[in-house]
Amino acid sequence: MPLRKVGIKGIRMPISFTRLGSKRVLLVPSFDVFIDLPPDRKGIDASRSYEAVADVFSMFAKRTYRLEDLCALIANELLNRHEYATRAEVKARAEAVVERTTPKSSISTFEPYKVYAKAVSRLIEGSVHTYRMVGVKVVGVTACPCVMEGIKELSKTELAEALGIHGLDPKLLDVLPIATHMQRSEGFLLMDSPEGYDVDVSKLIDIVEGAMSAPTYELLKRVDEVEIVLRAVSNARFVEDSIRFMAKGLVETFKELPDETKVLLAQRSEESIHKHDMVAIRKATLGGLRRELFSLNEE
């Protein structure tokens, strides 16, 4: 019986270097590696899979590399060392802690981002075909537009009563829509990194961060807090909206990437007024997103 994927989950490697835009950052990556197994083989030689990771890592750890390229090197090495395998898959995840600047007070702050990469190598008629993917997970804040709408739809009498109950100033009657719930939210973007193009991880981070109501920072002085809250209420967005802004950001940023580039967009909000999370997910190609946004602009 053939098996599609046999392998090792959770291989930890020491610190290595990658690039975010013009910055060189350090990562501690964790790898999952798999090969396929033909019907006539009882099991894989797991130690060879580990060695493929460790050897590639040892050769390249001191250079600056793209995480998806490292995955591709490992995938090819897996095929080399398992002569019976025709498909090798390598997934990597790591956290990059990057120095940023607070929005108003301009002080140093260190922000964590998750970085993902994947490579699949296939042996087809004697030659190896490899594709790469790269992705990020970014935490930000979303402010909910629905409560703002809800408040607008209440009659003055209902609102006055509600304000009275809650001991709030009646002057709030005109401007109440600015009160809404916010929450920690997490955007995820995974996409093809086609051969010959440079998909810059720092641009992915900017796209996902910019698709939420506001970015978040580990350090915020009071002026920064006010800034972030005002920015969030001015950009109130549903999880559905974050997906749309990610799509727009992708189309505008990666003009040179081919239409068939596959993308996966997801947003998850830890709703502050609920105990559950809201989620929106979209799978598409860059070409599909381009057509949708073009027809939207036409209207």
Is 86 a residue that touches a copy of itself (CB under 8 A)? no
**CB 32 → a copy of itself: shortest distance, Å?**
8
Minimum distance, C-beta of residue 181 to a copy of itself, in the bound complex (Å): 5
What residue has token string 């996902």? 208
Minimum gap (Å) between residue 258 Cβ and a copy of itself:
20
Q: What is the CA radius of gyration of the chain?
A: 24
CB 204 within 8 A of CB 135: yes
Pick from 70, 72, 92, 151 the residue near a copy of itself by CB under 8 A.
151
Give CA separation, 73 vs 25, 93, 143, in Å. Answer: 20, 16, 42
The one among 64, 97, 198, 294 contacting a copy of itself by CB under 8 A: 97
Q: Which of residues 235-294 bind a copy of itself (CB under 8 A)?
A: 238-241, 243-244, 247, 268, 270-283, 289, 292-293
User: Rounded to whole angstroms, how far apart are CA atoms 205 and 150?
Assistant: 32
Shortest distance, CB of residue 153 to a copy of itself, whole angstroms? 8
Select the residue interacting with a copy of itself from 26, 38, 197, 252 (CB under 8 A). Answer: 26
Least Å from the CB of residue 231 to a copy of itself: 6
Contact 94, 29 (CB under 8 A): yes
* Contact between 163 and a copy of itself per CB under 8 A: yes
What is the phi/psi pair of residue 237, to 5°? -145, 135
Three-state DSSP class for residue 189? strand
Query: 204-228: buried (b, 16+ CB within 10 Å) or exposed (e) per residue?
Result: bbbbbbbbbbbbbbeebeeebeebb
Query: Which of 60, 65, 100, 109 touches a copy of itself by CB under 8 A?
Result: 109
Q: Which of residues 212-241 bind a copy of itself (CB under 8 A)?
A: 214, 216-223, 225-234, 238-241
59 binds a copy of itself (CB under 8 A): no
> Is residue 206 a contact point for a copy of itself (CB under 8 A)?
no
What gap in Å lies between CA 70 and CA 94, rounded to an integer? 13
